[in-house]
Amino acid sequence: MSAIPSQVEPGRNAAGGAVRERRSVVPFAWAGIIGPVLFTAAFLLQERFRTDEYDPIAEPVSALEAGPNGWIQQLNFVVFGLLTIAFAAGLHRGLRPMRTGVAGPVLIAVSGIGLLLAAAFPLREDAAGVTYDPGGHIVAGLVFFTTSAVGLIVLSRRIANDARWSGLATYTLVVGVAALAGFFAAGVLAMPDDAPLHQWVGLVQRALILLLLFPCRVILSLRLLRVAQA
């Protein structure tokens, strides 16, 4: 009689361990949902109360770091960066393992590090009220946008290898390619001071993050949540 429990118990333990493993991903999935939503709400709220000194059409989100209340946007970058890194960890745990499969989540995590760098090297405002980069912030932005886009491109291959994520591989790939192309186009047509679209650089940046990167992250997070709770 004692042999029966010894044969059944390992299976029970394995099943329970698998359930706990899936459920442990749930907080990481929520991090991927909360991050973009909270970040967007925070910078939109700041814009609402800084209408006299900030133009969301002509200035990037990072320009909110300049001025006496810039610490709010710095904190916004830090929170979003940490949530992004957690989201990347959840993606790695929630997708079926494959050779070199860690590359996609690592790139997404590096985009979170880019956000932390954006807080560590903020834009500043000179005596004339002109926003400038004292050093490091442009590099942080480059890290965030490129790794966010390339991370999605690389991640799409791993998504395609997991039937639980059916239907999202092509979408993730298309968003990654579009975001990467859009970023480089913005770097030529909007970012430089003498660029033809420079007066709309804020609008161009918001189009990239609010129409491409952020919706994709939320959609991936929702699927991760569903996989974790299945």
In a domain, residue 54? The reply is: yes
Overall domain count for the chain: 1
- On average, the pLDDT of the chain sits at 91
Domain that holds residue 155: 26-229
pLDDT at 100: 87
**Statement: residue 87 has pLDDT above 70:** yes
pLDDT at 7: 53
pLDDT at 133: 94
In a domain, residue 2? The reply is: no
Nearest to 148 by CA among 93, 215, 197, 75: 215
pLDDT at 14: 46
**Statement: residue 138 has pLDDT above 70:** yes
Mean pLDDT of 208-214: 97
In a domain, residue 169? The reply is: yes
In a domain, residue 72? The reply is: yes
Confidence at 23, pLDDT banded by 50, 70, 90: confident
Mean pLDDT of 119-132: 91
In a domain, residue 20? The reply is: no
Residue 52: Cβ within 10 Å count: 5
Q: Report yes or no: 146 and 183 within 8 Å, Cβ to Cβ.
A: yes
% of residues, the chain, pLDDT over 90: 82
pTM of the model: 0.90
pLDDT at 162: 96
In a domain, residue 224? The reply is: yes
In a domain, residue 10? The reply is: no
**Residue burial 55-90, b: 16+ Cβ < 10 Å; e: rest:** ebeebbbbbbbbbeebebbbebbebbbebbbbbbbb
% of residues, the chain, pLDDT over 70: 90
In a domain, residue 109? The reply is: yes
**Statement: residue 20 has pLDDT above 80:** no
